[in-house]
Every structure is written in structure tokens, then in C-alpha cells.
Structure 1
Amino acid sequence: MAGDSIFDVRLYNIIMLGLSFMLIFTAFQTASMAEKSVLDSAKNESESTNGTKFTGDGYTSLSVIYIVFSVSNWLAPSIIVITGPKLSMFIGSLLYFLFILSFLKPMTWALYTVSGLVGFGAAILWTGQGNFLTINSDSETISRNSGIFWALLQCSLLFGNAYSHFVLQGSDSITKAERNKLFIGLSGAALLGSIFLLFLRKKRTADSDDLVNLNSSGQAKVDTPLTALKRSVHLMKTKEMLLLSISIAYTGLELTFFSGVYSTCLSNTKYFGTESKGLIGISGMFIGAGEIIGGTLFGLMAKRTNRHGRDIIVMFGYVVHMACFYLIFINLPSKSPIDPTDEATYMTTNKYVAILCSFLLGLGDSSFNTQIYSLLGFMFPEDSSPAFAIFKFIQSIAAAVAFFYSDYLILKWQLLILVIAGSIGSLSFSVIEWESTNLKREGYQSI
């Protein structure tokens, strides 16, 4: 039937995938942005009661997530060979749901246990997503589909943080009732996102215009778990992946900054008074707005991007981030990532400048991530699972390192690390893009 064409099935799958991830990460991204403040309040709550003392730390929990995530990425392609991308994503999403549930009754041992579990779940969820995105795209639609998925995914920052803002606004400390109200809602979103994954449809594979040749399980030329692992190791050693790893590492560092550190800075800035906790939600919404506008714009520009190169968009994101880091440097106290503070800043601390920076963080992040997604799908169409697993491995290692040093480094040193990594990462991406564009012009379809 004409209405059930391969194009329609592909586009349906991309939209359903984006909606599912939007719901799952409405829960997770909102939780990660508020985690440090929520758990610090839970510590104070346990100290004022006769119950078991809670000693969990938000930065440590997030660091555990990304450490386990990074290690698990080497196993993820092998798992997807056995389960297929749809089932692997569903299992991973349920572990995210379990993580969100754990905040209803914070316990130190449970916090770190589910942090480890969600790290494993993230590996199979994201590697499955990269594989599923690639097999539902071709060389002409990969940029468009990356933009559509990214824009839908980042709607999570709008909805989750809007909810967070209305629950937490006006609070100096997050009470048990507020925490429960917040995480009951987020748990519902995570569970609904898992259910949405069950509605993904199997793509027909008989058409000659497929980007990849698929076996009976929907996988690209990977027959055994051991073969998948070997392909990951081989791919990691290629010149293209080694250079691209610098750009990927930068996305991990700035992911840590906008998803955990920046919201903590706002929460710890005493100048904002009783608005400080509510600003966590507003900041998240504007980060989401930047992500959505960027993803939508770059998706609409897919044909021009294919013609003129992805490096232009990445350099745009680089300029946006550098301007943003400078504004953050002069607007927020240096000690704000670590402790509540009212120390002097280089300008009068302004909440509107702080929220503008949130938007710029999201816009710049979408520039890097959509183009890396597109480049990986274009360069490694037959190795999509290993390629996206390596992407998440490098990104999560960088994020784990950043969450670790975030407990110790003041704001200016964290920003300096981001400036250096962003400069080198933008250059390395451009070098790979120039090479891939030249090969495309010579008639090649992949590197």
C-alpha cells in the first residue's frame, strides 16, 4: 500500500523514537539537574530526624552513572546483536524508571546501586537508539532525522523543568512533600516513555535504497556478540574516530556542566534569594528551548548542510558557547558550583543574564550533537552500533571525569577546561568533516 511506504515507516519510527526519549529524559534530565539540590536537602532532613542518616551526594551519583555507562558501552553492541535495538532500548528505559523511583525514599546504598544500573541501561538505550536511527535513515535523510530526533528529545527539558519550577519555586530547601510530588510526576513520564518504545515498527528491508544491508534481526552485518566487540575495538583505532573523539569528549564535559553544575550554581547563588531553587526549572526550560530551536533549525537545513558541510554549524555552536562561558564567568560567583555563596562577581549578578546563558548552553550543545550524530551515521553506516557505542563511551568518560572534578574546582577553572576542550574539539571535527566531504565529492559513500 502506498500509505505504508518505507519512507513513512522510517519517519514514523523516528518520530516515535523521539517522543519516547522525550518522556524518558523529561524524567532523567530534570532529575539530574535537580539531584544535587534535592539530595542536599534530603541530608539535612535526615539529620533533623531520628531515622537512618542519608549521606548520598548528587555529583558522586552522577559520576557513578557515567563511569558505568562508559564501561558498559563496550558490551552494548554485543547485547544489541542478541536482543535487537528495540528490546535493548526498552530494557534500558526501565532502568531509568527505577532510578527516578529511588528518589521517593533516598537511601545511600540504593542511590549508588541504581546509579550503577542506570549507567548500564544508558549504554544499551543509547547504542540501540543510534543503531535504530541509522537503519531508519539513508545518506540523504540522516541529517534531517538527527535534527527531528534531537528536537523531540530536548522537549524533555521544557516539560520536566516547567514542572520542576512550579513544584520548587519559592523554596529555600526542598521538603519531603515537594520531593515526592516532583518525582512521582517524573516517574510517570519515565514509565510512559518506556511504553512508547513498544510501538516502534519493524522496517522493511527489501528496498534497494537502504543505507545498510541488514540481517534477519535488523542488524547491520554483525553476526555474533564477539564480532560486534571486535568491530568496536577496530573502529576505535581508526584515524577518523580518534580525531572525532576530541569533539565527543567536549560534548561530555559540557553535558556535565549544563545538566548538573550550572543548575547547582544558580541554586547556590544567594543573590537570587528565594528564587534560587525555582531558577533550576526555569534554567532547564531555556536550555531545552535552545536545544529544540537548534535541532529544528539544523534539521530544516539538512540539505544545505549536506552540500556545504557540517563544520559551519559546529563553528557556530563554538562561538555561541564561548560567548556563553564569558557571561557565566562575569555573572556568577566562583564558589557557586560547590557551596552557597554571596561572594562578589565581575558584574551585578543578574537572573536574566543567567537565563540567557541557559539558552545559549542549549543552542550550542545542539550544534555539536546533531552534527556528530549526522557525521557518524554518514561515515559508519554499516557499523552504526559500534560507532554510537564508542560515541557514548567517550562522552560518558568525559562526563564522569567532569562530575568528579565539579566537587572540587571553582567555576572559573571549570569554564577554562570547557574553553580549551571546545576549541580543540571544534577544530578536530572540522578536519574530519573536510575529509569526509572531499571523499563524498569523489564519489564515496562512507569512510
Structure 2
Amino acid sequence: MNILCRLNSGTTNVIFMSVCFFFLFTADVTVQNLEKTIISSIHDDNKEFQVDGYDLLAFLYIAFGISLWLGPSFVNVLGQRTALTVASSIYTIYIASFTLENVWAISAATAAAGVGAGLIWTAEGKYLISNSKPSVISRNIGIFWTLFCSSSFLGNLFTYFTLNGKKYVDQETRRLIISSLAIVAAFATILFAFLRPVKKEMTQVPKAQETNAIEELKKTWRVFITKDMLLLNITFCFTGLQQAFQSGIYSPSLGFTLQFGHNAKQLVPLSGIFVGIGQLLGGCFQILQGQRFSKLRWIRSIFLIVGIAAQFLSFALIYINIPSSAVFGNTNDKAIIESNVYLAIFCSLLLGIGDGCLNTQNFSIIAVIYPDESAQSCALYKFTKAVFVAVGFSASSHLNLHWQITILAIMAIFALFSYIYVDMGTVRKVNDKKDKTSIKA
């Protein structure tokens, strides 16, 4: 408690919002990780339930991407705290819809969740940046990312023990998991309602004049067509593809690999836990960036190189350890080597580290480049990423695992060079500004 008292109001707000996200995404991340497995098990019980888990996830992210264009306008009208609360309630309804096991109910809730995602992530970016002075933005992003990534532990751990010894996920087990997660999401919604407003002195920039929805949309477009944003979109595209792979494709593929034995389904939440641990490590890099390495000129690019190197290693190991057909459903096919559980889970850790580095460094660079357009830049980042998450999920119904890994590896190279190019230009601009300031002084 004494520690919290010593923190300024902005940091306290960021921590409280991060706790809200922790509970909400304890539910949502677990559901997304299990969605393909749950949908397949519903289909096994009811052959009339004709929908694919990957297609549902793609549908969600398409709605997410579209809604992001209107996200800044809605946040401007509703306010940051109200937008976060409303979005959280939509997430809760989406999670609860899986207990109905009805195609239309789940599809409608999925579309609504996409809109809710556009709202919550736009408001999150604006609330975080509004509560952070430039000197602590990296630290605050790291705090948020650390608590956000920790959300994958509780839900997946609960699911891991619930699925113990179950080769088949029956209806009773499905409803127990989903109902429990929906209650956690509802609790998060209550917490969001108690978020505190941003103090005027914590805002990075002077308060702008009130703008209407159309002006916000125009402002979003102007940010989108800037040179830096267009180049960063290449990195954001890869971020989306790899997020789809690590959050909803790789883990179910482990559960479908019957070479792992009767406990293969337990590997789905276990993989999610280790992805979260890896993301947590990536978030710790961001905190280090804000405290110990903030004076290093190319620190953002260095951490991004670390993250992409981790993902390259995971791609190579997955290629030889998991059968190519595992992405489609249960398979007895063998991989290039004998499938190894420990190696598979180690790859989950590497994927998480890469995802953590990518997301934190993406947020870090847009916070530096676009401090006056925080809502717009965060929305555009999420838009591009959401579109390619949808592409990744949609392609998973058609491309085998090896083809997906090959495409990811190629995209990673382009993503890395695009980011480094923009980062070098940003560092030069910051240094030039410092030099001019020192000369005037």
C-alpha cells in the first residue's frame, strides 16, 4: 500500500487498468486458445453444428479491424473509461455465448466481440498514453504488458486440470470451463467501472479542441498515410500473422497431434501457459528498456531482433516436431522427428517471447512518433494487426502447418528491416531535436 501511495496518479491509473485487463483476458485469452478445440468437440456431439473454429476467429478479427476505424470516434464520444466498461461487457456476452452451443448465437456474439475489441484497444492505448509522461512511457507499457500477459496463466491452468485424462471434451466439461471464464469476465467489467479519470497534468500534450466523429476519422486517415506508419504496417502485418499462429493455431495443433498420447488435449492450455510466460519475459524487456537501457540509441530495434530470433528458432523446431496435417484436426501422422512434448512446449515459450517483444516495441515506437495522435496511431496499429490475424486464421483452414511456418519466416525478415529503418529515422530526429535544444540553451 505504501508503494502505491508513492506512485503518481498516472502510474496508479495504468496499474489499475492493467489489473482490469488481467481479469478480462484471463477469460478471453483462454477461450481463444481453446476455441478450435471446443468448436471441434461441439461438432463431434452435434453434426448439424457446421462452423469452423478458425473461421470464427477470422470473422472476429475482421469485425475488429473494421471497428478500429471508428474506434477513436466512439472513444471521443463515450470517453475512455465508459468505452472500456462497455467493451468489457461485450466480451463477457461473447464468452458466455459458447454455453448455448448455437451457431447463430455464437456468430452474432463473435461479431459483437470484434466491435468490442476495437473499442477496448483504442481506449486502452489512449488511456495508457494519456496517463504517461514521455519519460515513463516505456515503463508503463511494460507494466501493462506484464499484467496483460500474466492473464494467460489462471484460465489456462484451470483448463489444464479440468481436461486431465480427457481424450474427448464432453458438453459438461465445456460448459464448466466457459461458465467459469464468463464469471471472471463479468468481474473485470465491474472493475472497469471504477477506473479513475486522467489528471490534466499527466497528459503529454495540451488538451485539444473538441472534435466530432468525422474529424476524428479524417485525423485517423492522415496518420495512416504518413511514411512512418506505412512502413511500420509491414511489421504490424507480421505481428498479426504470428499472433494468430501463437494464440489460436499452434496450441490446438498440439492437441490434434495424437502421437502425444491420451493427454494431448491437455497440451492446449499448457501451451497457452508457456506462451504467456514468454510474453511476460518480453514485457520485462520493456521495463528494462525504461529503467536501465533507455539511453541506448537502438534499444527498440535490439529487443525486436531478440524477439524475431526467438520466433525463427521456434519455427524451425515446430517444422520438424509437429506433423504438417495437425493444423486441420486429429491426426496420427508422424512429424519429421518423433514428436516431443518438451520440445513442443519450449516452442510455445519462444513464440511468446517473440510476441512480447513485437507488441511492446510496436507500442513503444508509435508512442514516440505519434504522441499527439495516440488514439489514432494505436487504432491503426491494431487495425493492421487485426486484418492479418484474420488472414492467418482464415488461411489455417487451407494451408498446412509447414506452409504457414514458411510464410511466417519470410514475413519476419521484411518486418524486421522495416522496423529498423523507421527506428533509425526516429532516433535521428530525437537526437537532432536534443542538439538544437542544447544549442539554444
Q: TM-score, normalised by structure 2?
A: 0.95
Check whether the contact 1:16–1:199 (CA below 8 A) recurs between aligned residues.
no
Give distance in 2, aligned partners of 1:60 and 1:106.
16
Task: Say which of 282, 296, 307 aligns to 2:296.
Answer: 307
Q: Is the 8 A contact 2:259 2:334 kept in 1?
A: no
- Aligned equivalents of 1:160, 1:132: Cα separation in 2: 26
Contact 1:146 1:374 in 2 (8 A): yes
Q: Give the aligned CA root-mean-square deviation in angstroms.
A: 1.8
| Residue in 2 that maps onto 1:323 | 313
Asked if the contact 1:147–1:370 (Cα under 8 Å) also holds between the matched residues in 2, the reply is yes
Q: Residues 219-258 of structure 1 correspond to what in structure 2 (within 5 A)?
A: 223-258=211-246
Percent of matched pairs sharing the same residue: 32
> Residue by residue, what CA displacement relative to the aligned partner does 1:144-184 show, whole Å, maximum 9, x if unpaired?
11111001001111111101101112211111110011011
Within-5 A mapping of 1:19-418? 19-47=19-47, 53-206=48-201, 210-215=203-208, 223-303=211-291, 304-309=293-298, 310-418=300-408
Instruction: Measure how far apart 1:275 and its partner are.
Output: 1.0
CA distance in 1, matches of 2:41, 2:210: 48
- Give how far 1:344 is off: 2.4
Quote the Cα distance in structure 1 between the aligned partners of 2:120 and 2:19: 14
User: Partners in 2 of 1:432 and 1:293 — Cα distance?
Assistant: 25
Q: Which moved more, 1:435-444 or 1:360-369?
A: 435-444
Shift of 1:301: 2.7
Please give the alpha-carbon distance, in whole angstroms, between the structure 2 residues aligned to 1:344 and 1:103. Answer: 33
Q: Can you list the C-alpha shifts for 1:400-440, whole angstroms capped at 9, x where unaligned?
A: 11111100100111001111111111111111111111111
| 8 Å contact kept, 1:26–1:156 | yes
Q: Could you tell me which runs of 5 or more consecutive residues in structure 2 were left unpaired when the two chains were aligned.
A: 436-441
Distance 1:94 1:199 in 2: 14
Q: Contact 1:42–1:176 (CA<8 Å) still a contact in 2?
A: yes
Q: Distance in 1 between matches of 2:352 and 2:246?
A: 8
Counterpart of 1:68 in 2: which secondary structure?
helix
Question: For 1:442, what is the secondary structure of its paired residue?
Answer: helix
Under a length normalisation based on structure 1, what TM-score does the superposition of the two structures give?
0.94
The structure-2 alpha-carbon separation of the partners of 1:222 and 1:236, relative to structure 1 and needing over 3 Å to count, comes to farther
SS at 1:40 equivalent: helix
Q: How far, CA to CA, are the matches of 2:64 and 2:347 in structure 1? A: 28
- How many aligned residue pairs are there? 432
SS of structure 2 residue aligned to 1:346: coil
Shift of 1:5: 8.8
Note the residue ranges of structure 1 that are not aligned, 5 or more in a row: 48-52, 216-220
Shift of 1:390: 0.4
8 A Cα contact 2:323 2:401, kept in partner: yes
Amino acid at match of 1:211: Q
Q: CA deviation digits over 1:307-354, x for unaligned, max 9?
A: 333100001111110001000001000000012112222211100000
